[in-house]
């Protein structure tokens, strides 16, 4: 619908900020009969990229000061510079240690 409004040269991205796990047991995973006004028959998925909320979105787990997540798969796309200063401060500080 956005491409129709902006023209065929427009680049449109859809961001799903959810992991969909809670939908696995609902009717959203079942086939649904197409209606005439549905846009889905004309939508072409060119690709997708899944990102973890932690690590991969802000630093490279392979070189981070923590262990990489067990399911981390490095790709060829460069990652942004890590915003966390390494070893600059403890991760968790107890209130008794702050005094």
pLDDT at 79 over 80: no
The whole-number pLDDT of residue 95 equals 46
pTM of the full structure:
0.32
The whole-number pLDDT of residue 30 equals 73
Contact 23, 33 (CB under 8 A): no
pLDDT tens digits, 1-54: 888 899 988 888 877 766 666 666 677 667 778 888 887 787 787 777 766 555
The whole-number pLDDT of residue 48 equals 75
Contacts of 83 (CB under 8 A, 6+ apart): 58, 59
């Amino acid at each position: 619908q956005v491409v129709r409004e902006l023209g065929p040269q427009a680049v449109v991205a859809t961001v799903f900020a959810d992991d969909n796990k809670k939908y696995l047991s609902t009717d959203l995973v079942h086939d649904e009969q197409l209606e005439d006004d549905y846009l889905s028959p004309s939508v072409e998925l060119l690709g997708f990229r899944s990102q973890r909320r932690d690590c991969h979105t802000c630093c490279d787990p392979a070189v981070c000061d923590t262990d990489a997540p067990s399911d981390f798969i490095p790709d060829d796309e460069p990652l942004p510079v890590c915003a966390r200063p390494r070893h600059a401060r403890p991760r968790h500080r107890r209130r008794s240690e702050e005094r």
